Structure 1
């Protein structure tokens, strides 16, 4: 697995690829747990085609030019329920939100809002698998692994782009 660090509106953002797909993302720079030789710094040349593609898509997303990621993803962890939540996240349209309860109802378990929240927290590929689009009851901004300021930035970015596209 190779990590690439990008500068973004939410600070440094790290993305891991395995040569065929995106495996993980991380808010901030991946620390000493990863061999420095397997980590590229902001602005470094991509290691392979998948790395180049995800870097290009993330830059376009943060610039407000991309509304749907197409890079291949691979998720090797998570319970069946967590995987179902992560799949459901990818179905939430760009610039829109759902509540934890709405996602739980969509998955056929209306009482599982807290479990949806736990699955959001365990999302191995945040931003690309958009856990930031899931909010608390009544649209309240609660819980986000990257911190609420990052969640607000991502939601504002998407809302602004969605409005500009709707009005043009």
Structure 2
């Protein structure tokens, strides 16, 4: 599967694609080799996404809802949760219960929603970092850096965060 790595102000990201759409996106990780480990030259449409990610990570909030994702690679429930998460725009947050309601499920499905977000193959692009506990507390984030990365991304987007 073609993929490329690229440098951002927060570190090296990686992106993978096929003819259908994006198959994977990886947030900066201190364990990932530095830029230059690109295995394929991204097509123009992927290059545009890379440019938007770079802008997003310097504080120019981008909405990635228009990106072509290869949703065939994720189970139907995860797909529904991820598509609902795309509706949460930069600078805003929603609760796990809000996402459950958006896909027609009761608040008790919040844990299942959280598990589905943990399987998000496109963190940042599909904004699982914008989903918080009903109390506004920052909980679980499976990306590199955990909750600290979640808070950093939300702050970059100008989201209002609750102090403890």
TM-score interval, normalised by the smaller of the two chains: 0.7 to 0.9
Q: Distance in 2 between matches of 1:15 and 1:136?
A: 29
Any conservation in 1 of the 2:14–2:26 contact (CA below 8 Å)?
yes
Q: Distance in 1 between matches of 2:19 and 2:121?
A: 17
Matched, 1:151 2:147: no
Give 1:20 deviation, angstroms: 5.3
Question: Deviation per CA, 1:92-129, whole angstroms, max 9, x where unpaired?
Answer: 12110011111112222111000000000001111101
CA RMSD of aligned residues (A): 2.6
Q: Distance in 1 between matches of 2:51 and 2:20?
A: 16
Q: Distance in 2 between matches of 1:149 and 1:11?
A: 15
Matched, 1:141 2:135: no
Partner of 2:58: 63
Question: Deviation per CA, 1:23-79, whole angstroms, max 9, x where unpaired?
Answer: 1112338969xxxx9x518xxx94321231121111121122242123322123222
Using the size of structure 1 for normalisation, the TM-score is 0.79
Aligned length: 153
Q: How do 1:9-158 and structure 2 match up within 5 A? A: 9-19=9-19, 21-27=21-27, 28=29, 39-40=37-38, 46-69=41-64, 70-110=66-106, 111-146=108-143, 147-158=146-157
Using the size of structure 2 for normalisation, the TM-score is 0.81
Q: Distance in 1 between matches of 2:31 and 2:2?
A: 11
Q: Which runs of 4+ in 1 moved over 6 A?
A: 29-32
Task: Point out where structure 2 has 5 or more consecutive residues left out of the alignment.
Answer: none
Flag the 1:78–1:17 CA change in 2: closer, same or farther, 3 A: closer
Task: Point out where structure 1 has 5 or more consecutive residues left out of the alignment.
Answer: 163-168
Q: Distance in 2 between matches of 1:158 and 1:57?
A: 13
Q: Distance in 1 between matches of 2:31 and 2:50?
A: 16
Q: Distance in 1 between matches of 2:48 and 2:41?
A: 9
Q: Distance in 2 between matches of 1:142 and 1:117?
A: 9
Considering fraction of residues, name the structure with more helix.
1
